[in-house]
C-alpha cells in the first residue's frame, strides 16, 4: 500500500492546478476504528476488512484524480496512513488481549 501511495505522490507531485472535479467526499466518511478492549472477534474482523476496502478505494480515487493539488493530496494520504496505523494498533492490541485470555 505504501509503495502505491508513493507512486501516486510522485505522479501528482508536479500538479499545481486548483482542486476541480475531484470528489473527496469519501474522506469525510471514513470508517470508524473499534476499541480493541470492547470489540468482539467478528466486529474487529469486519472493521479490518471494511477499512482495507476503504483504503483501497480511496487510493484508486487518488490515482484517478489528476486535478488535486500536492498539498491536498498529501493531506489525504496522511489521513489514510493515520487510519491504517490506527486499525493496525487496535488489531494488534486485540490479538494480544485474545492470546492473554
Q: Which residue has the higher pLDDT, 4 or 34?
A: 34
Q: Which residue has the higher pLDDT, 68 or 87?
A: 87
Q: Which residue has the higher pLDDT, 26 or 68?
A: 68
pLDDT of residue 16: 38
Residue 87, pLDDT above cutoff 60? yes
CB neighbour list of residue 40: distance below 8 Å, 6 or more residues apart: none
CB neighbour list of residue 32: distance below 8 Å, 6 or more residues apart: 47
Taking phi over 0 as left and psi of -120 to 50 as alpha, with beta for the rest, 30 belongs to beta
Where exactly are the structural domains of the chain? 40-101
pLDDT, tens digit (0-9, with 9 covering 90-100), for 14-58: 433 434 446 566 677 889 999 999 999 999 999 999 999 999 999
Residue 70, pLDDT above cutoff 60? yes
Kindly state the helix (H) or strand (E) to which residue 51 belongs, with its residue range.
helix 41-64
CA–CA gap between residue 45 and residue 77 (Å, rounded): 24
Confidence of residue 93 (pLDDT cuts 50, 70, 90): very high
Averaged pLDDT score across all residues of the chain? 81
Asked if residues 12 and 68 have their Cβ atoms less than 8 Å apart, the reply is yes
pLDDT of residue 22: 66
Amino acid at each position: 500500500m505504501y509503495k502505491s501511495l508513493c507512486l501516486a505522490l510522485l505522479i501528482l507531485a508536479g500538479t499545481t492546478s486548483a482542486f476541480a472535479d475531484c470528489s473527496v467526499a469519501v474522506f469525510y466518511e471514513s470508517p470508524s476504528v473499534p476499541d480493541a478492549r470492547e470489540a468482539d472477534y467478528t466486529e474487529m474482523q469486519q472493521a479490518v476488512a471494511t477499512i482495507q476496502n476503504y483504503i483501497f478505494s480511496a487510493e484508486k480515487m487518488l490515482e484517478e484524480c489528476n486535478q488535486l493539488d500536492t498539498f491536498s493530496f498529501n493531506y489525504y494520504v496522511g489521513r489514510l496512513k493515520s487510519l491504517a496505523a490506527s486499525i493496525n494498533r487496535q488489531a494488534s492490541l486485540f490479538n494480544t488481549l485474545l492470546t492473554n485470555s
